[in-house]
Structure 1
Amino acid sequence: MMLRALSSDWLKIRGKGIWFLAALGPLGLVAMQGLNFGLRYDYLMKQYAADPWGGLLQNILSFVPIALFLGCTLICSLMANVEHQLSSWKQLLALPISRTAVYSAKFTLAVIILLVSCLLLSAGTAGLGLVLQLERSEMPIADVLRIGVAPFIASLPLLALQLWLSLTTKNQGLPVAIGLTVSVLSVFSYKLHDAIPLKWPLLAYTGPGALQVIAGGAILGACIVGLGLIHFNRRDVD
């Protein structure tokens, strides 16, 4: 049943610019660091002479949380607007598909879109390093993959919260405002206590306790999905 709902949602987002947005984020981040290294190549190569790949990853990591949080916000809002703008909730929920399947399919689709975006970031990071003539043999493949996947898992609580708010609120001003605020605050997340989820995307890559942070992101994300699902199942639709 959920697969039917997922297939339907997959078709609904065609032509909505969501996949373009999912690609624009990581490619824009890679391009920005390409410009940064291109303009200051000699200086940065000298600064990171001991570990040039590590220096590149560190520069990219600085902007991963804000890109992730913005991505969670915009993708969830755009997906929800497909239903809100057409006022199709009553027709959708009148079909022989449970509300649980509808909600789960939308969350699954949001996860797939953002995961593809994060894997594109890892691929773009590897490509940028090679363009910058960093040694292919010294590429830390595990770290390149981790910079995309680990922060993504740690950001699942915000994705779950944004989907909950976006699907249950016709006016997208509130979820978008919350998402933008969180995104801006994430720039200063390194100053926050480690227990605050806003800092988890950074900690998921840099540690200490990276595995615990990743597990915490997955567990808290699942809890918020559960709460959102309970609310979605009980609420009236417009």
Structure 2
Amino acid sequence: MMTLMRAEFIKIRRKGFLFLACLGAFGVVALQMVNYGVRKDYLLSLSEDDWSYYLLNVQSFIPIAIVLGVTILTYQIANIEDETNAWKQQLALPISKIGLYTAKFLTVSFFLAVASFLLAIFTFIYGLTLDFTQAVPIKELLRQSFYPMFAVMPILAFQLWLSLVCRTPSIPTTAGIVQFLLTYSAYSLPDWTPWKWVLLPEPRLNVGLGMMFGLIIFIIGIYDFYRRDVK
């Protein structure tokens, strides 16, 4: 598996995956830079716990950012072989389709973890510049930064599945747009929908559901990919 992972990293070396992870994390915090830069005094007057309110403002943009990132990364990693019609050559090597599928899933998950780590760092650094009087709520900051990565696993597994098995690129792209719109309006959706889980209304439950259903969809995707002919 490590060999397949290294091969995936080599293939995506010039695809801008790390740049996208950095851009997504920084973009979420940059929105709060604008927000607090324009109306800091007003925002500070809305709550006695400035750090918690600041984290709440950051958290409101994380779901749509991570779903958009998942859509882009899964499409990009599935499109590598499509660009050069290399699926048959790839699978002619002594590697399993299951291993290849898993390596792509883990590669996207790795960059989500990188984005989550950078989000925590950027959120912390900018928060310090705002000179809040309260102590930094480290646990809350880490939970807000990393939990969405686990809650979004069903969407990641589904998007990767579509991107790898669909011969028409417009299908996973359209599905990604729908996922984005559903996440944007997730506050009005029932709590059992996966797009609502990314908002973390019940953090531990949402993480558990995300990982469980993400694994189920991942297994279904592997089975479907394994039984299909190569593109």
State the Cα deviation string for residues 191-236 of structure 1 (Å, max 9, x = none): 1111111100112xx42xx212211100100001100000111000
Q: How does 1:5-154 map to 2 (within 5 A)?
A: 5-48=4-47, 50-135=48-133, 138-154=135-151
Matching residue of 1:175: 172
Matching residue of 1:235: 228
Letter in 2 for 1:166: S
Matching residue of 2:209: 216
How much does 1:190 deviate? Answer: 1.2
| Cα distance in 2 between the residues matched to 1:58 and 1:176 | 30
State the Cα deviation string for residues 40-92 of structure 1 (Å, max 9, x = none): 011111112x1101111111111111001100000000111111111111011
Give the structure-2-normalised TM-score.
0.97
- Counting aligned pairs with the same residue, the percent is 40
1:160 aligns with 2:153: no
Letter in 2 for 1:233: Y
| Cα distance in 1 between the residues matched to 2:106 and 2:129 | 34
Work out which of the residue numbers 217, 220, 226 in structure 1 matches 2:219: 226
**RMSD (Å), alpha carbons:** 1.1
Which deviates more, 51-60 or 182-191?
A: 182-191
How much does 1:118 deviate? Answer: 1.2
Letter in 1 for 2:119: L
State the Cα deviation string for residues 77-136 of structure 1 (Å, max 9, x = none): 01111111111110111111111111111101010011111111111111110111124x
- When the two structures are aligned, how many residues end up with a matched partner? 231
Structure 1 unaligned regions, length at least 5: none
Alignment check: 8 A CA contact 1:84 1:170 kept: no
Alignment check: 8 A CA contact 1:99 1:232 kept: yes
State the Cα deviation string for residues 8-59 of structure 1 (Å, max 9, x = none): 00100001112111111110110111110110011111112x1101111111
1:188 aligns with 2:185: yes
Structure 2 unaligned regions, length at least 5: none
Letter in 2 for 1:55: Y
How much does 1:168 deviate? Answer: 1.3
| Cα distance in 2 between the residues matched to 1:92 and 1:187 | 37
Secondary structure of the 2:167 match is coil
How much does 1:171 deviate? Answer: 2.7
| Cα distance in 2 between the residues matched to 1:52 and 1:180 | 34
